[in-house]
Amino acid sequence: MKQGVVNFYRQIRTSPNLQIISVDSYLIQSGVELYPNRLDKGYSLTDCISRIVMKQRGIIEVLTHDQHFTQENLRILFQDSNFNNLT
């Protein structure tokens, strides 16, 4: 499993289609402000920060197995069966 994670990370870092976003103080503060408005949905602070980045960039499709994002009308591309293939 560990080697699978390392390989996956390397693919992400070198992919021209993916970008890793660093979390700065602005994103943390924005996430903290959004978080109280999403308490009924079971979101984490990370979910809120991710949602802010997606909204800023006009992203409507999500590569995740976290079903919370369907509550924001986002399309999930990463089904659990696909996630298991990475390990």
Is residue 84 over pLDDT 80? Answer: no
User: How confident is the model at residue 55, as a pLDDT?
Assistant: 95
User: How confident is the model at residue 19, as a pLDDT?
Assistant: 85
- Rounded to 5 degrees, φ, ψ at 75 are -95, 125
Q: What is the pLDDT of residues 16-47, one digit of tens each?
A: 988 889 999 999 999 999 999 988 888 899 99
Q: What is the pLDDT of residues 45-83, one digit of tens each?
A: 999 999 999 999 999 998 888 888 888 889 998 765 544
